[in-house]
Structure 1
Amino acid sequence: MVTSRPPFAEAPPAFPNSPKRHQERAKDMTRLFSTASAIALAVAAPALAEDPLHLGEISVYANKAGTPIPLERTGATVDVVTDHELRQSSETALADRLSLLPGVSASSNGGLGSTTTVRVRGLDGKYVKVLMDGIDITDPASSQVQFNWAGMTNAGLSRVEVLKGSSSSVYGSRAVAGVINMSSDQRTGEPGTVLRFGLEGGTYDTYRAGFNVTTEGERGGLSFSMSRVQTDGFSSKAAGTEPDGYEGTQLNFSADIMATDTLTLGVTGYALNSEGDFDEFGGDGVPPFDETNTTKTRALRAFAELATGAVTHTFSGTYYNNDRVSSSNGFDTPFDGTRKRLDYTGVWDVSQALQFTFGGDWEREEFVSGVDSGDADMTGIFAEALYAPNDSLDLSASLRWDDHSEFGGNLSGRLAAAWRPAENTIIRAVAATGFRAPSLYELNHTLYGNPNLQPEESASFELGVEQQFGRGSFVKATAFHTEIDNLIQFVTLTSFPQPFTGQYQQVPGTSTSQGVELSGAWVLSDSFSVYSNYTYTDAVDANGNRLLRVPGHDFVFGLATTFAERWEGDLAVHHVADRPDEFGTVMDDYTVTDATISYALSDTADAYLRIENIFDEQYQTSAGYNAPGRGFYVGLRAAF
């Protein structure tokens, strides 16, 4: 699947803080939904009706059952980055690659290894559940429970699936903006053993190496990957003088076996050892102190799947631990987060038209940081129905009840529909509720915690239309609107040069993030295609203040081509505009152009050249922090 990217114009003013605010918001969203539908349908007018609808991709995480479902049959909005797209990516950091998707943006406090956040539809990392092979890898000891994309590259990955929109009824707390799942299993379904390896080197003394081995038989298989990246980097802080490097070693594995004709046993695992330099405040810290984050992550999931006629039962247990030490100006601050989880899911194929999913789960999160500590349990029960009354309509409804040891019960729901009124047209609609329980850090930290915090609650709506033209060409428009009540924000109580104090506090009222995603691709020939997307986002808190680092306008244009014999290339232009940051500033707009050229040495090996930031644009994704300049990277990949 060819993916696309987003233009610029001035953002409209934030919603005024007045009694008419909700009426104005409703009117604006009516216009957004109408505009999105009109644009897509207008462009779709000359559709090539003789070409059958064929997206060529499936979603595994759009619904609770985990059963692969064609993208055209899910009401949820899902973007998939395929194995081929990951290999052809011009970007070193996976967060930068994901930011090329419509509705997704990223910001980083420097280069590879620096604190990095991925936002979905204007909402930052604490609202995005991140999974690795189905394991929740968000950090329970983080100030807000989220995943730090600092050193994550595409090494060892075969696919990334981005589910957008509130999904708490499927995935529980924190899945307010969506879910991102990274898959490492590189098995193809063909019997035999395959060995893959890759080597790369380039600017900032950056080196990457990795290998993967897969083996498959009649009753099971194994996929094992190991990768390492290291770089001298550059100064993260704009005022810094010394480079901030990073090194990390990552391991992924998955295995399963059919113990009997009805019972399958399996295990997946993820491990990361890393160390990265960082800058804070004025620059490089006070000599001779080096500022570093050292991280050791371990995650393991074991499962058993039992088929009993029309019902399939899956039992699983998961353990996750992230042990992180932040060293700054001679002081070490430890952060240790642990998650234990038990799951049961039953999938009942009632008929060809109806599938019913049900189950429950239990989860305990623990955090320790010096003298601060905390823990919480959450128990959930859920049910979901997928119903296809005819070939042109797919409906889904899910409901989940969570009981939190600190806050009691919460009910989340989602209704979604995918309607195909014509062979090449899809109309999607979703309405959902969600919630985010305060993190253990927000509740229990001695200096900044607030034990009086309550869960944030959300409601989201989206309406989209997609038109296919055959051969992979398409246009798509989606309007989205999310409301969050009682948003939790860090509030500064005193400021520098006075002794700095602050606290996490609830912001009364309703915060919103709304906008439109437009995307499309056109396959001009067997060897040339173009793709593009644009996202407009208006994200404000209850006081009308824009949410930090959220682009008002995000535009991507690219082309993919095969030229001459054995040559393949990809060029992507990414323009970002209108981003507020701290101190009431608006960061400068920027445009970055990346490219990849690869040459097939044989049927099983290829060499490539990646060029990041071709025109050496000087820009920042976080105010006061540098972004990578022009970089050249050469590599070799092979499979046997």
Structure 2
Amino acid sequence: MGEKHSVQFGVDLRRETLEQYKDGVSELTSNEEFSRKGYELWGQDTWFALDNLEVVTGLRGQRDSDFGTHWAPKINARLGFEDGEGFDSFIRAGVGTGYRVPNLKERHYRFDHSQLGYIVNGNPQLEPESSVSYQLGFGGHFEKKVWVEVNGFFNDIDELVQTDIDQAATDARTDSVVVYRYSNIDQARTWGIESTAGWEIAEGWRISAGYTWTETEDVATGNDLNRRPSHQLQASVDGLTGLSGLSWSLRARNQSSEYADAALDRKSSGYTSLDLKLNYRVLPELQLYAGVDNLTDSQRDFSDPDDFQPVAGRFLYTGFSLTLGGQ
């Protein structure tokens, strides 16, 4: 739209249905099929106010068959300090509202993993989440060879959906299975810092790392939120070998402990995982690859219902990719 504006519009249509049977018998509270449908209309305008200033405003409207209509506006701005020489940087800030309707799984589905020690039940009384989010960040790069970005965030959330231990249902069982249930938290807050940095050492050689610190609070109780680790660290190294066409990549991830149920002071321990992959380009159109995911074999203890480490242990794989046709 002219030289100063770029405008986008869109529509999302969706329909969900849910039935659940085991050996021909419904596992839901009734034999009926649950369904919901809705649509979203959204628009966004990017205003190039100055050569180094962009302002993005947007509005999303949602109509849901179960929860009615909701509008969610946002505004973001980015101010750049770039001259193509030396260190180019930017400042970015934004505020926006969020809205999420609980899906049919969270409201009705019965996830029975009693053989692994737990069950997760849906909650038909769930209410939609709504939030206001604030962000402020800084970033830059030196000739696109070295880069860094730091972003602070604060989220104020109403009716946050999370899983909690259903103590009454757990106590009513005669085995050691723990029963979880989706529930709303009236008011919750999350805040923290996300950061990333990288360095392209030479052509084909790159290292990068990212760190996220997150604090959370259930405003009513003062407890931390469940399933939200305070510290997450990711790192990667990509490089070449002496053999032409052969490259490799290493990915590492570390996560601190997280609450399985903060009200009961029950935690899942932290863990570290490593992924290694080799790629060999035989022809321009043909690439072979092999790798190991979760090299450290970090895996949950299935006898412990509070352990949320990875489900899969060490995993080896190999394959190929073939591109047909050309340009």
State the TM-score, normalized to the length of structure 2.
0.75
Query: Letter of the aligned partner of 1:611 in structure 2?
Result: V
191, 211, 215: which one aligns with 1:538:
215
Is residue 465 from structure 1 mapped to residue 143 from structure 2 by the alignment?
A: no
**Which of 292, 295, 300 pairs up with 1:620?**
300
Change (3 A) 1:413 1:599: same
The 8 Å contact of residues 527 and 563 in structure 1, kept in 2 or not, is answered as no
CA shift digits 1:86-142 (9 cap, x unpaired): xxxxxxxxxxxxxxxxxxxxxxxxxxxxxxxxxxxxxxxxxxxxxxxxxxxxxxxxx
CA distance in 1, matches of 2:122, 2:280: 54
Matches within 5 A, 1:385-404: 385-404=45-64
Deviations 1:599-631 (CA, angstroms, capped at 9, x unpaired): 3323333333313334x3444397176644444
Structure 2 unaligned runs (5+)? 21-25, 111-120
Q: Is the 8 A contact 1:430 1:463 kept in 2?
A: yes
Q: 2:260 pairs with 568, 575, 581, which one? A: 581
Letter paired with 2:61: W
Instruction: After TM superposition, give the deviation of residue 523 of structure 1 in Å.
Output: 1.0
Equivalent position to 1:439, from 103, 115, 119: 103
Q: Against the structure 1 CA distance between its residues 416 and 523, is the aligned structure 2 distance closer, same or farther, given a 3 Å change threshold?
A: same
Report how many residues are paired. Answer: 288
Q: Does 1:366 align with 2:40?
A: no
Q: Give 1:365 shift.
A: 3.5
CA contact (8 A) 2:218 2:224 kept: yes
Query: What is the percent sequence identity of the aligned residues?
Result: 21
What is the one-letter code of the residue matched to 2:155?
A: T
What is the CA-CA distance between 1:470 and the residue it aligns to? 1.8
Query: 2:68 aligns to what?
Result: 408
Encode CA deviations 1:468-512: one digit per residue, 9 max, x unaligned. 11244311111112121122445626133415988654432x212
Q: Corresponding residue for 1:512?
A: 189
5+ residue gaps, structure 1, are 1-349
What is the one-letter code of the residue matched to 1:588?
A: S
Cα deviations by residue, 1:180-211 (Å, 9 ceiling, x for unpaired): xxxxxxxxxxxxxxxxxxxxxxxxxxxxxxxx
Instruction: Specify the code of the residue in structure 2 equivalent to 1:598.
Output: N
**Cα shift at 1:596:** 1.8
Structure 2 CA distance for partners of 1:638 and 1:547, relative to 1, 3 Å: same
In structure 2, do the counterparts of structure 1 residues 450 and 467 end up closer, same or farther at CA, with 3 Å as the change threshold? same
Q: Deviations over 1:142-191 (max 9, x none)?
A: xxxxxxxxxxxxxxxxxxxxxxxxxxxxxxxxxxxxxxxxxxxxxxxxxx
Q: State the AA in 2 paired with 1:610.
A: G
* TM-score, normalised via structure 1 length: 0.41
Corresponding position of 1:549: 227
The residue number in structure 2 matching 1:633 is 317
Shift of 1:522: 0.4
SS at match of 1:547: coil
Q: Match of 1:601, SS? A: strand
Match of 2:288 among 599, 607, 621: 607
Instruction: Summarize the Cα distance change of 1:374–1:550 in structure 2 as closer, same or farther, 3 Å threshold.
Output: same
CA contact (8 A) 1:588 1:619 kept: no
Between the aligned partners of 1:505 and 1:632, the Cα distance in structure 2 is: 38
- One-letter code aligned to 2:232: D
Q: Any idea what SS the aligned residue of 1:507 has?
A: strand
2:90 to 415, 426, 430: 426
CA contact (8 A) 1:552 1:578 kept: yes
Q: Which structure carries more relative contact order (alpha carbon 8 Å, separation 6+)? A: 1
Shift of 1:443: 5.3
The 2-side partners of 1:478 and 1:633 are apart by 36
**Alignment-mate amino acid for residue 431 of structure 1:** V
1:478/1:490 Cα in 2 relative to 1: closer, same or farther (>3 Å)? closer
SS in 2 for 1:438: coil
SS of residue in 2 equivalent to 1:496? helix
The reply on whether 1:354 has 2:34 as its aligned counterpart is no
Q: Distance in 2 between matches of 1:581 and 1:634?
A: 35
Q: Which residues in structure 2 correspond to 1:197-596 (within 5 Å)?
A: 350-358=1-9, 363-369=14-20, 370=26, 371-423=31-83, 424-440=88-104, 449-451=123-125, 453-489=126-162, 492=166, 494-498=168-172, 504-508=182-186, 510-542=187-219, 543-564=221-242, 565-582=244-261, 584-596=265-277
Counterpart of 1:620, as a letter, is R
- The whole-number CA distance in structure 1 between the counterparts of 2:311 and 2:181 is 30
Task: From 583, 587, 597, give the equivalent of 2:278.
Answer: 597
User: Offset of 1:535 from its aligned partner?
Assistant: 0.9
Say if 1:366 and 1:587 are closer, same or farther in 2 by CA, change over 3 A.
Answer: closer
Residues 495/530 of structure 1: CA separation in 2 closer, same or farther (3 Å cut):
same
CA offsets 1:296-351 (integer angstroms, 9 cap, x no match): xxxxxxxxxxxxxxxxxxxxxxxxxxxxxxxxxxxxxxxxxxxxxxxxxxxxxx20
Distance 1:444 1:590, change over 3 A: closer
Q: Which residue is equivalent to 1:9?
A: none
* Cα displacement (A) at 1:441: 5.3
Matching residue's letter, 1:634: T
State the distance in 1 between where 2:62 and 2:167 align: 34
Q: Check the 8 A contact 2:271/2:309 in 1, yes or no.
A: no
User: For the residues of structure 1 that align with 2:239 and 2:146, how far apart are their CA atoms?
Assistant: 15
Amino acid across the alignment from 2:191:
Q
| Contact 1:372 1:444 survives alignment (8 Å) | no
Residue 279 of structure 1 is matched in structure 2 by none
Distance 2:12 2:204 in 1: 48
**How many angstroms does 1:437 deviate by?**
2.1
